[in-house]
């Protein structure tokens, strides 16, 4: 939460109202002290032997006046809205919203404010003192044939078939085909199964939740309706009514979350998240006219970007009445863009797409561009990867070592920082030829935001992470270099909640909550990186054999 910082003609700022409260409390204290002193003076005048009626009258008038002032101030502390009201700014997925809190009196407001400030400071201190993630283990994933490398990965949404943590689907690919491995993270992470998918390169993977529950409205008669004409309360569905809707709602409740996989030949495969990927009897497949670039779910729509050397297209799919996705009737989003639409992410309830060196915010309801901005002054640049954290977007350009921090509402670039000096320092213990090669082609290859921490994967195989500051304008990241890394490039970064009762990436549950037990359940999270080979960046225990396993794929796990 952030306190209001700008003056409004009708609304005092937080700092103004707080200073007003403090000055009023000080006036109350001094007035009470004056009343006490005058009362003592009146008692002392009674000891005088000579006539003192004028003095007694003056002191009585002074006490009456000060008592009146005291009552006025006390009433002000109860009735003055400037002293009993707090105005806050709260950042939500819909933007920055104003929140006004009213208290019975100024004392209760002061107690609440003190508790809020104390909790806020404690949270900031806990984030600053957060320990670096621990490397949990590494998994060797053998290639079924030479040339298969990691491409993308994603956790499923919801519980696994055993009722525990979601599985993680990891894709490997070459120019001719792809494979999907299902990783079980319940207990010790293990690879459950692996199977081939399609006959082209796997480009993207996207988890899609099960249908939302339809909201129902209760229509009640007016309170003054005569008893003889009472109308029973009706429940109206937001879209339709009748027995057909009951059947439809029943069907929607049985629809599972899905995993969408897009290939370079335009094929999209849709699997139920709980199905064994080897058993493709319930698999859906559609072929689009252009190669797939990216797939993102936003607000009950699945957006798919496609491109070729001469055409750019953005489509979206919607559900049918039964809750299943209508793969035969895609809709086209009209965009006047010339470069491919990749990457895409969901942020602040909007679809954010990158095209060349610019970002575009699209309203998923109207499918119209609401905001656009260039994140690089060079037209030849293109965005390589993005990650969202609240109302902040982290952007890395192609073949670049610079991370740009962008406001998700305005698309203004708040700051940028480079990681090249840190990578160069980390590689200083390696042979000159290896260091020169990795620094010569160094780039950021993956970004991930998880538990208030930014993770960065690089082409050198080195993985970094840092706490994300609440204030971005003057933030200087302090990076932790993970001791475990890859010999080749880091191909992807993803995260999965290993708590059976909480799903980190269920977008339907991303809302404000003060349920402490629910929040604590999100602490058990694995961050996973995929790449070629395993390397140990710890200079103290570096072994000669480290760095010789670059012919196989490794999954590295950290506890976040």
**Domain match, 62 and 149 both:** no
**Domain match, 103 and 195 both:** no
**Domain match, 14 and 28 both:** yes
Cβ contacts of 73 within 8 Å, gap of 6 or more: 24, 27, 28, 31
**Domain match, 115 and 162 both:** no
Q: What pLDDT shows up at residue 418?
A: 96
Tell me: cis bond preceding 343? Omega within 30 of 0 counts. Answer: yes
**Domain match, 105 and 141 both:** no
Contact indicator for 395, 407 with CB cutoff of 8 Å: no
Q: What pLDDT shows up at residue 429?
A: 87
Any domain includes 244: no
Q: What pLDDT shows up at residue 505?
A: 40
Any domain includes 235: no
Q: What pLDDT shows up at residue 510?
A: 43
Where does a domain end: 67, 94, 126? 126
**Domain match, 117 and 17 both:** yes
**Domain match, 109 and 143 both:** no
**Domain match, 180 and 111 both:** no
Contact indicator for 274, 160 with CB cutoff of 8 Å: yes
Mean pLDDT by 10 residues, the chain (560 residues): 38 52 78 89 85 85 87 75 76 71 81 82 63 69 73 86 80 89 87 88 95 58 42 40 56 82 94 72 79 96 95 95 91 94 95 97 96 93 96 95 95 95 92 92 96 95 92 85 92 86 41 42 79 79 52 87
Domain carrying residue 291: 130-211+255-559
Any domain includes 77: yes
Stretch (H or E) spanning 197: strand 190-197
**Domain match, 441 and 314 both:** yes
d(C-alpha 466, C-alpha 444), whole Å: 15
Torsion of CA 510, 511, 515, 517, to 10 degrees: 10
**Domain match, 108 and 136 both:** no
d(C-alpha 488, C-alpha 482), whole Å: 15
Query: Please, what sign has the CA dihedral across residues 508, 513, 517, 523?
Result: positive
Contact indicator for 499, 165 with CB cutoff of 8 Å: yes
**Domain match, 163 and 51 both:** no
Cβ contacts of 518 within 8 Å, gap of 6 or more: 502
Any domain includes 234: no
Contact indicator for 348, 362 with CB cutoff of 8 Å: no
Which residue in 227, 245, 247 sits closest to 237, CA to CA?
245
d(C-alpha 329, C-alpha 529), whole Å: 36
Backbone angles phi, psi at 347, to 5 degrees: -155, 140
* Structure tokens given for 425: 């320092």
d(C-alpha 485, C-alpha 534), whole Å: 6
Which residue in 228, 88, 208 sits closest to 155, CA to CA?
208
- CATH number for position 432: 2.130.10.10
Any domain includes 218: no
Q: What is the DSSP string of 33-69?
A: HHHHHHHHHHHHHTT-SS--HHHHHHHHHHHHHHHHH
Q: Which residues pair with 496 in a beta bridge?
A: 526
Pairing, β 484-485 against β 535-536 = antiparallel
Contact indicator for 171, 179 with CB cutoff of 8 Å: yes
Domain count, the chain: 2
Backbone angles phi, psi at 424, to 5 degrees: -60, -40
Q: Which residue has the tokens 């200087």?
A: 476
Q: Which residue has the tokens 């070592």?
A: 401
**Domain match, 368 and 322 both:** yes
Contact indicator for 339, 305 with CB cutoff of 8 Å: no
Backbone angles phi, psi at 31, to 5 degrees: -65, -40
Where does a domain end: 126, 152, 183? 126
Where does a domain end: 65, 94, 126? 126
């Amino acid at each position: 939460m952030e306190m209001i910082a700008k003056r409004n003609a009708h609304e005092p700022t937080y700092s103004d109202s707080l200073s007003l409260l403090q000055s009023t409390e000080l006036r109350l204290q001094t007035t009470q002290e004056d009343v006490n002193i005058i009362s003592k003076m009146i008692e002392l005048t009674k000891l005088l032997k000579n006539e003192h009626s004028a003095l007694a009258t003056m002191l009585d008038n002074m006490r009456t006046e000060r008592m009146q002032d005291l009552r006025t101030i006390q009433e002000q502390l109860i009735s003055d809205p400037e002293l009993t009201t707090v105005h806050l700014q709260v950042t939500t997925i819909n933007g920055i919203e104003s929140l006004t809190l009213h208290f019975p009196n100024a004392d209760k407001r002061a107690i609440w404010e003190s508790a809020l400030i104390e909790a806020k400071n404690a949270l900031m201190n806990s984030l600053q003192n957060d320990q670096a993630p621990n490397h949990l283990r590494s998994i060797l994933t053998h290639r079924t044939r030479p040339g298969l490398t990691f491409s993308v990965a994603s956790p499923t949404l919801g519980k696994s078939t055993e009722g525990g943590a979601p599985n993680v689907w990891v894709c490997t690919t070459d120019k001719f085909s792809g494979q999907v491995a299902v990783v079980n993270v319940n207990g010790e992470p293990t690879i459950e199964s692996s199977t081939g998918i399609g006959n082209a390169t796997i480009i993207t993977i996207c988890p899609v939740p099960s249908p939302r529950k339809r909201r129902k409205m209760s229509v009640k008669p007016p309170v003054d309706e005569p008893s003889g004409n009472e109308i029973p309360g009706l429940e109206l569905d937001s879209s339709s009514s009748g027995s057909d809707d009951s059947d439809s709602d029943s069907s929607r409740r049985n629809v599972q979350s899905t995993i969408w996989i897009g290939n370079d030949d335009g094929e999209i495969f849709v699997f139920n998240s709980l199905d064994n990927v080897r058993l493709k009897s319930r698999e859906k497949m559609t072929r689009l006219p252009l190669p797939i670039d990216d797939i993102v779910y936003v607000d009950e729509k699945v957006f798919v970007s496609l491109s070729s050397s001469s055409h750019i297209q953005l489509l979206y799919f919607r559900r049918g009445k039964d809750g299943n996705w209508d793969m035969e009737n895609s809709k086209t989003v009209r965009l006047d863009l010339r470069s491919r639409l990749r990457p895409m992410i969901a942020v602040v309830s909007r679809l954010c797409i990158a095209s060349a060196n610019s970002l575009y915010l699209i309203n998923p309801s109207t499918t119209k561009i609401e905001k656009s901005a260039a994140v690089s002054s060079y037209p030849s640049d293109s965005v390589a990867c993005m990650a969202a954290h609240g109302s902040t977007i982290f952007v890395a350009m192609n073949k670049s070592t610079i991370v740009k921090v962008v406001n998700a509402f305005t698309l203004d670039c708040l700051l940028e920082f480079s990681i090249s000096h840190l990578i160069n320092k980390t590689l200083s213990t390696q042979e000159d030829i290896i260091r020169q090669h990795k620094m010569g082609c160094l780039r950021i290859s993956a970004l991930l935001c998880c538990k208030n921490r930014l993770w960065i994967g690089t082409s050198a195989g080195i993985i970094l992470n840092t706490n994300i500051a609440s204030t971005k304008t003057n933030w200087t990241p302090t990076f932790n270099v993970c001791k475990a890394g890859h010999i080749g490039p880091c191909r992807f970064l993803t995260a999965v909640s290993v708590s059976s009762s909480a799903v980190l990436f269920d977008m339907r549950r991303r809302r404000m909550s003060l349920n402490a037990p629910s929040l604590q359940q999100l602490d058990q999270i694995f961050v996973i990186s995929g790449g070629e080979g395993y390397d140990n960046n710890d200079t103290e225990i570096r072994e000669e054999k480290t760095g010789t396993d670059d012919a196989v794929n490794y999954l590295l796990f950290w506890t976040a």
